[in-house]
């Protein structure tokens, strides 16, 4: 399988995971690529 620019990898939701809240930090990465770090903000 080939991943191209703009492709997204979705893994689903494992058991026991709840909603995110303002201030939560989500981090993810793939070897050889720049990691992603997101801080959840308040809804507008």
User: Could you read off the pLDDT of 16-27 as tens digits, one per residue?
Assistant: 888 999 999 999
CA distances from 11 to 14, 41, 43, 44 (A): 9, 23, 24, 27
The proportion of the chain whose per-residue pLDDT surpasses 70, expressed as a percent, equals: 100
Q: Residue 9 pLDDT > 90, yes or no?
A: no
By the 8 A CB rule, do 39 and 23 touch? yes
The full DSSP string for 1-44 is: ----TT--------TT-----TT-EEEE--TTS--EEEEPPPP-
The mean pLDDT of 7-36, rounded to a whole number, is 90
The pTM assigned to this predicted structure is 0.58
Q: What is the pLDDT of residue 18?
A: 87
């Amino acid at each position: 399988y080939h991943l191209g620019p703009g492709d997204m990898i979705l893994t689903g939701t494992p058991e026991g995971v709840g909603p995110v809240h303002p201030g939560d930090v989500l981090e993810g990465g793939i070897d050889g690529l720049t990691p992603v770090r997101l801080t959840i903000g308040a809804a507008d």
